[in-house]
Structures are given as structure tokens and as C-alpha cells.
């Protein structure tokens, strides 16, 4: 027994048929301070090979066009209106909210709580087992109501913690609206998003990509 495989990796590997070839290769071994450190590489067919050999299902192609119903559009418009009626946090307010959050976490640690984590409203799907989470998010790729629901809770967390919104959900909303031919709504959504997270306000290429997407719509 040399060590363990991380739970998410083990769960992913265990989902494949037992006849699929899987092996490991020793990459490095060292003894440091009376402890042995071993680095190995997992060897298995790549995604293309797994699907070609029948070890993994090929996911259906994403639709190039989407039809949105009145309910789905109303969900997004409600979120846009909600965000338009509130102002973004200033840098100082965001910093103070983050300090309050950190202080609260430290108090709970000192009180002896066994498990302490940041409350992330709207992110319940992150607590799912790896493969369930992966499957759910693939299904939600073109689900406007699901994406808007995540963003609604995430914005509540933003006001509570001062932490920047993850841009991938905002990007999915923009993509869905583009596929539905609703560039008017896409523009309105991106204008609302950029009011909170303009270029340079957070680190990451996707933030810049959303700004560039908005520029192309003359937002």
C-alpha cells in the first residue's frame, strides 16, 4: 500500500467497465525526512479512444438553436431587474465583507466546529459527487432557468461575502440567449453583469471575454 487515489478520481475510474485497460507508471520516488514520496502517472485510453472502443458514451451534440419559453425569459428578466435595483459593492465594502467572512470562519474554528466552510448560496450542485455534478452541469448547459437560479443565489453570496461572481455561469446565459436568437436579451444581460464586474475588476480571461462579447453587441 503506497497511498490512496483521491475520491473524485476513484469515483470517475470506477464508473468505467472493468475490462478497460488501466495501469500506472512510476514517475518519481524520493525519501525526505524519513517519509517516502512516490509520484505516479495514470495510464488509460484517452477520451476519443474510450468512446471509439465503447468504454464511454459519446454525449449528444449541443443544439445550435434553442427555443425559450415565456417562463424562462421571465426568470432572466426578474434577475436583471433585481440587479438593476441594487448597486455594486464598492472596493471597500467588498473588502469589509471579506474580512467579516474570514473573522466569522475563524470564530467558528476557535469554537471547535469540526467542519467550517463558506456558505455559497446557489452552489448546492458543487456538493454533489464528482460524476453526478458533471452530469448535472452537462444537462444544465442549455437550461436557462438552472443557470439563472445559480446566478441568483451566487449574487446573494456576492453581497454577503464580497467575493466575485464566477463568470462561467454568466457566459452560459449569454450563449443560451445567442442560440435562442435573443441578442436583445443577451445585450441587456451583459450590460447588467458588466455593471458589477467590468473589465479589470476580477482576475481571469473569462471576465475579459464577457466584456468583449458585450462590445460586439454595442453594449
At 84, give phi and psi (nearest 5°). -70, -25
Contacts (Cβ under 8 Å, ≥6 apart) of 59: 138
In order, the DSSP letters of 78-91 are HHHHHHHTSPPPPH
In order, the DSSP letters of 84-112 are HTSPPPPHHHHHHHHHHHHHHHHHHHHTT
- 3-state secondary structure at position 59: coil
Which DSSP symbol is given to 118? -
Q: How many residues does the chain have?
A: 219
What confidence tens digit (pLDDT) does each residue in 169-217 have?
Answer: 999 999 999 999 999 999 999 999 999 998 887 777 888 999 999 999 9
pLDDT of the chain along its 219 residues, tens only? 566 777 777 888 888 888 999 888 888 888 888 888 888 888 889 889 998 998 888 877 878 888 999 999 999 999 999 999 999 999 999 999 888 888 877 887 777 765 555 566 666 666 667 667 677 777 778 899 999 999 999 899 899 888 888 899 999 999 999 999 999 999 999 999 999 998 887 777 888 999 999 999 988
Amino acid at each position: 500500500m503506497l497511498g490512496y487515489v483521491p475520491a473524485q478520481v476513484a469515483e470517475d475510474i470506477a464508473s468505467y467497465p472493468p475490462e478497460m485497460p488501466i495501469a500506472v507508471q512510476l514517475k518519481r520516488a524520493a525519501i525526505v525526512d524519513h517519509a517516502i514520496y512516490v509520484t505516479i502517472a495514470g495510464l488509460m485510453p484517452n477520451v476519443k479512444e474510450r468512446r471509439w472502443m465503447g468504454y464511454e458514451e459519446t454525449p449528444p451534440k449541443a443544439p445550435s438553436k434553442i427555443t425559450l419559453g415565456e417562463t424562462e425569459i421571465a426568470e432572466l428578466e426578474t434577475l436583471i431587474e433585481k440587479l438593476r435595483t441594487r448597486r455594486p459593492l464598492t472596493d471597500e465594502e467588498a473588502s469589509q465583507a471579506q474580512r467579516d467572512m474570514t473573522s466569522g470562519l475563524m470564530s467558528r474554528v476557535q469554537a471547535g466546529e469540526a467542519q467550517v466552510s463558506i456558505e455559497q448560496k446557489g452552489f448546492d450542485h458543487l456538493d454533489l459527487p464528482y460524476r453526478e455534478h458533471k452530469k448535472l452541469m452537462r444537462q444544465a448547459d442549455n437550461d436557462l432557468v438552472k443557470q439563472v437560479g445559480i446566478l441568483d443565489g451566487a449574487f446573494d453570496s456576492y453581497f454577503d461575502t464580497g467575493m466575485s461572481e464566477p463568470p462561467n455561469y454568466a457566459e452560459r446565459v449569454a450563449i443560451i440567449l445567442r442560440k435562442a436568437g435573443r441578442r436583445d436579451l443577451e445585450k441587456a444581460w451583459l450590460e447588467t453583469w458588466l455593471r458589477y464586474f467590468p473589465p479589470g475588476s476580477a482576475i481571469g480571461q473569462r471576465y475579459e471575454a464577457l466584456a468583449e462579447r458585450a462590445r460586439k453587441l454595442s453594449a
